[in-house]
Structure 1
């Protein structure tokens, strides 16, 4: 089954995008001291709620949900609360930067992964505008097919390099020179249930309709 992409022109009236972490707690039977273990496998969850759509949008949304065939299908979905990082919305200098080590050119404003990840909670990147606040805490990025939230403000250095603290940690290290997506960074998701229901009237007005998604690790 091909992976679908959620339509860019069907916008929810409200969107919930959150994280389901994977931890385990141990409580001592002697003194009730608690230890918590962080495990890999945190998943993004989303709930999109629709209250106003045209007839054509209603049909297209129902067609997409039907095509997913319950939890069997897969869809690329981005956080509707923050579809684009601020830096991506600002015109940047088109100056070309030469990477002598990799013998390649790249335009400023198109950041990529810089080398190999050693800390899966920090993404090394390059090709940012020099000495600039490039990302703010709470924004989203995508690299290596995984959606991440930036956990602290990020300022590039004089060479356009930036280390981005992210959550949740990477499951798989993105390849060197993989593009860092700022515009509609996506998660690989499925429906959270095999059932969806859409109630409408003969005048094609519909009641508030919500649909839940959960990330699928790759």
Structure 2
């Protein structure tokens, strides 16, 4: 079994992007284009690594162990260092406003409703491009932000392309890409240390360019390992 990407090997350049699958038809008369999305969207990456000495030798051996595209391994999502939002929980919000927990933060009932929600951020379910999350502070539009990412299920990463405002119970529906390949139920909401299962795209990935004194550069093309 090939180990994950070596933790102490850092690329000098990375291109990491979401690649949709589309079918297009163009009218021969008007040149109008109809584009339809198909299943099979995936993450792809181009990673440049430059090493010397024992690190270069060890990384070359790791590449050989991958056997081209045969073995899958986890790769850090270098685009994201963590959550783009505050991730403020309902528990933290309730503690901040006091035990009365009125929806406007006051200590008397002036017509505002009670906040019944509680808990920490988590996923309650999801299907296709929609993911339901809960456990956040109520009436807040910054707990998750567009451009963030979540890992669900483990080994798969999804970009948040639309995030809105939580309701009074700290719930929200977010839109993700790529779409979920299978429905998900209640699960944690991982936003830190995200990693993808990927493969080398070709048989010649181990081909590195070496410049004296023994400094080697590899340019690797990676594709997501789809289940």
With normalisation by structure 2, the TM-score equals 0.75
Residue of structure 1 equivalent to 2:174: 164
Shift of 1:172: 1.2
**Residues 54 and 82 of structure 1: CA distance in aligned 2, closer, same or farther (over 3 Å):** farther
**Aligned mates of 2:23, 2:159 — CA distance in 1:** 22
Mapping 1:1-218, distance limit 5 Å: 2=1, 4-51=3-50, 53=51, 55-87=53-85, 108=120, 111-115=121-125, 117-118=126-127, 120-130=128-138, 131=140, 133-145=142-154, 146-174=156-184, 176-196=185-205, 197-201=207-211, 203-206=213-216, 208-218=217-227
* RMSD, aligned α-carbons: 2.9
For residue 194 of structure 2, give the secondary structure of its aligned residue in structure 1: coil
How far apart, in 2, do the equivalents of 1:38 and 1:55 lie? 46
Asked whether the 8 Å contact 1:23–1:39 carries over to 2, the reply is yes
Shift of 1:198: 2.1
Q: Please, which runs of 5 or more residues in structure 1 have no aligned partner? A: 98-105
- The answer to whether the Cα contact below 8 Å between 2:82 and 2:192 also exists between their aligned partners in 1 is yes
Other structure's SS at 1:66 match? helix
Q: Any idea what the Cα deviations from partners look like across 1:143-194, whole Å, max 9, x if unmatched?
A: 12421111134443443322221112111122x1222221122222110111
Q: Which structure's CA Rg is the greater one?
A: 2
- In the TM superposition, what is the alpha-carbon distance from 1:78 to its structure 2 partner? 2.8
Report if aligned partners of 2:149, 2:157 keep a CA contact under 8 Å in 1: yes
Distance 1:134 1:8, change over 3 A: farther
TM-score (norm 1): 0.77
Number of residue pairs the alignment of both structures matches:
201
CA–CA separation in structure 1 for the residues paired with 2:32 and 2:12: 44
